[in-house]
Amino acid sequence: MGTSEMEERAQRAGRGRSEVDIVSIRLASINDSALLWTWEHDIAVRENSFAESPRDKEEFVSWFAERVHDAASPILIGLAHDSIPIGRAYLELAKEPGVIHVAVAPDQRGKGYSPVLIQAATEYAFANSTIASLAGYMRVMSVAPIRAFEAAGYEQAGATIIDDEDALVYAIRREDFVRRPLT
């Protein structure tokens, strides 16, 4: 699938079907590198991440340049109705279950965007891959992400250990995914 077709599908997947002002998602471009590097260094992102230390800029730029064109691990940007970036979703779609990583921009938190971004990214993942399920891994103490995944229709599917830390697994199967209004 070509980049323009992937971009078109990303935009269709995130069209606004919610009371929240997110109306689209798009594939990240190389021009988003600085914005995503800034978001990665946000303190709340670090607190909810299993990797508490962010990548240095050189490492991030290299990682991003490699990943930004990889259809098996797309990076999506959520956009509000006024085209303001509200967050990002990294997807890992090469093996089962697929994995979703989501973060909302610091200045957009508290507006209800997390579950909408999760739903849009989930819809994109199922429309653009053959994965049967998608999972998000959260630190046990990460209350806000857990609530966001639950609101987006994910269910706790177990527990695991990541980097010597207890983690919860929230998952959704393709056949169970229904994009629905959020309350």
pTM for the whole structure: 0.82
- At the fourth CATH level, the homologous superfamily of domain 3-132 is Gcn5-related N-acetyltransferase (GNAT) (3.40.630.30)
Under 8 Å between Cβ of 118 and 100: yes
pLDDT, tens only, 10-47:
444 444 334 455 668 999 999 999 898 888 776 666 56
Kindly report the backbone phi and psi dihedral angles of residue 53, in degrees, each rounded to the nearest multiple of 5, phi listed first: -95, 125
The tokens for 65 are 């340049």
87 backbone φψ class: left, alpha, beta (φ>0; ψ -120 to 50): left
Rounded CA-CA distance 94/78 in Å is 22
Task: Go through the chain and tell me how many residues it has.
Answer: 183
Q: Two tokens at 157?
A: 């599917």
